């Protein structure tokens, strides 16, 4: 079957603080794929229903968000960077990377970011309870979901190399 796009779309997801943006930026730099920061789009294109002061985050309007990125993403070659994944249509996505870290590391990273106590605790609980990996496995075919550890810079380096290898293979398989 002919691929629906000439370059694949990759989701990089995980609990806040696991390293999504760092991975997405490095991968974009190395591959020329486009980094789509959903946080940025939600803000810039106002895909939200206001700001939650307690959580210090936007209340995302998912329909508006999907409309805002559809043209770009369906062309292909996007790295989608967000802490949720099951809202993106299955047909858009070729690979889902779920980043993971241990509790102590996550605690340090989110404390550094000055997260409000409740938000910090909820995110740590989400990481412990495998929320994102389960969400990914429920929303997408098992073969396209990859779980990668993101504690050290060496791991980030090898994760990005691994995704670059996957991209190379995808291009070969799809005659790009
Ligand atoms: P996210 O986008 O998932 O919230 P970031 O990429 O912003 O996460 O990373 C959060 C913090 O953790 C940053 O200070 C980043 O430098 C650090 N970090 C993330 N992943 C790693 C890693 N694999 N090794 C070392 N530091 C990392
Ligand atoms: Mn980020």
Report pLDDT for 4: 79
User: Residue 52 forms beta bridges with which residues?
Assistant: 57
Structure tokens at 67: 């409309």
DSSP state letter for 142: G
| Two structure tokens written together for 54 | 């307690």
pLDDT of amino acid 32 = 98
In the chain, domain spans: 13-162
The DSSP call for residue 139 is H
**Closest CA to ligand 1's atom 23:** 150
Six-digit token string for 160? 């990005």
Instruction: Give the pLDDT confidence score for residue 1 in this predicted structure.
Output: 56
Nearest CA to ligand 1 atom 10: 17
Residues with pLDDT less than 70, the chain: 1-3
Residues 13-162: name the CATH superfamily. Answer: P-loop containing nucleotide triphosphate hydrolases (3.40.50.300)
Per-position DSSP letters for 68-135, written without gaps between them? HHHHHHHHS-EEEE-S--TTS-GGG-SEEEEEE--HHHHHHHHHHTT--HHHHHHHHHHHHTTHHHHH
Tokens describing residue 87: 């809202």
Asked if residue 25 has its Cβ within 6 Å of ligand 1, the reply is: no
In the reported structure, the alpha carbon of residue 161 is separated from the centroid of ligand 1 by a whole-number distance in angstroms of 17
Report pLDDT for 159.
98
Left (φ > 0), alpha (ψ -120 to 50) or beta: where does 138 sit? alpha
The verdict on pTM exceeding 0.95 is yes
**Lookup result for tokens 């990859």:** 146
Q: How far, in Å, is the centroid of ligand 2 from the Cα of 47?
A: 17
């Amino acid at each position: 079957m002919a691929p629906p796009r000439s370059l694949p779309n990759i989701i990089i997801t995980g609990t806040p603080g696991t390293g999504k943006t760092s991975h997405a930026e490095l991968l974009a730099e190395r591959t020329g794929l486009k980094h789509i920061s959903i946080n940025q789009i939600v803000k810039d294109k106002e895909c939200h229903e206001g700001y939650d002061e307690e959580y210090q985050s936007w209340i995302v309007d998912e329909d508006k968000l999907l409309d805002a990125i559809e043209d770009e993403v369906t062309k292909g070659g996007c790295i989608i960077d967000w802490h949720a994944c099951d809202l993106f249509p299955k047909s858009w996505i070729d690979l889902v990377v779920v980043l993971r870290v241990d509790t102590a590391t996550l605690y340090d990273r989110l404390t550094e970011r000055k997260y409000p106590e409740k938000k910090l605790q909820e995110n740590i609980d989400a990481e412990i309870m495998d929320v994102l990996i389960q969400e990914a496995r429920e929303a997408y075919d098992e073969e396209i979901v990859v779980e990668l550890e993101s504690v050290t810079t060496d791991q980030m380096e090898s994760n990005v190399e691994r995704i670059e290898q996957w991209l190379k293979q995808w291009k070969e398989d799809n005659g790009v």
